[in-house]
């Protein structure tokens, strides 16, 4: 998986595969894609609860562990890189954030509020 993290990313399926090796690769792709954290954003069920991630590959000789802690509506990120440091970013969750620090913490912006889904009008 480390070698795959260093190559050009492939599209990530929306739903988890049923088999073990593909499931692991799918789960890692939800958490980090190269040096991008949470590349598909925060799933709605992840907004609010704290969570931790350990040793996700970010390159052939590097990985990252991170935790998200909520401060009201805003997620705080605590991270620590292992191996060769990479320039971390989270373009979907925090477009302005980027760091080359080996470890640290930051407060990301609140995710967009998800309101009720509307049908856009009636067809009757």
Say how many domains are in the chain: 1
- Residue 116 domain-assigned (yes or no): no
Model pLDDT, residue 73: 95
What domain range includes position 66? 2-107
- Residue 75 domain-assigned (yes or no): yes
Please give the share of the chain, as a percent, with pLDDT higher than 70: 77
- Residue 61 domain-assigned (yes or no): yes
The tens digit of pLDDT for each residue in 56-73 reads 999 999 999 999 999 999
Model pLDDT, residue 16: 61
The tens digit of pLDDT for each residue in 14-45 reads 566 567 777 777 778 889 999 999 999 998 88
- Residue 123 domain-assigned (yes or no): no
Q: Where are the alpha helices (DSSP H) in 13-123?
A: 20-31
- Residue 115 domain-assigned (yes or no): no
The tens digit of pLDDT for each residue in 80-112 reads 999 999 999 999 999 999 999 999 999 999 998
Model pLDDT, residue 4: 43
- Residue 100 domain-assigned (yes or no): yes
Q: How confident is the model at residue 1 (pLDDT cuts 50, 70, 90)?
A: very low
Closest Cα to residue 103, out of 122, 86, 123? 86
- Look up the pTM and report it: 0.75
Residue 77 has pLDDT above 90, yes or no: yes
Cβ-based neighbours of 36, under 8 Å, separated by 6 or more: 88, 89, 90, 91
């Amino acid at each position: 998986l480390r070698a795959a993290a260093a190559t050009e990313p492939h599209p990530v399926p929306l739903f988890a595969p049923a088999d073990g090796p593909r499931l692991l690769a799918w789960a890692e792709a939800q958490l980090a894609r190269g040096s991008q954290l949470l590349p598909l954003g925060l799933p709605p069920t992840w907004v609010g609860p704290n969570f931790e991630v350990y040793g996700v590959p970010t390159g052939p000789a590097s990985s990252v562990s991170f935790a998200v802690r909520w401060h009201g509506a805003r997620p705080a990120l605590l991270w620590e890189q292992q191996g060769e440091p990479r320039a971390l970013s989270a373009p979907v969750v925090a477009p302005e954030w980027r760091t080359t620090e080996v470890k640290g913490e930051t407060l990301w912006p609140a995710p967009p509020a998800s309101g009720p889904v509307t049908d856009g009008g009636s067809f009757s």
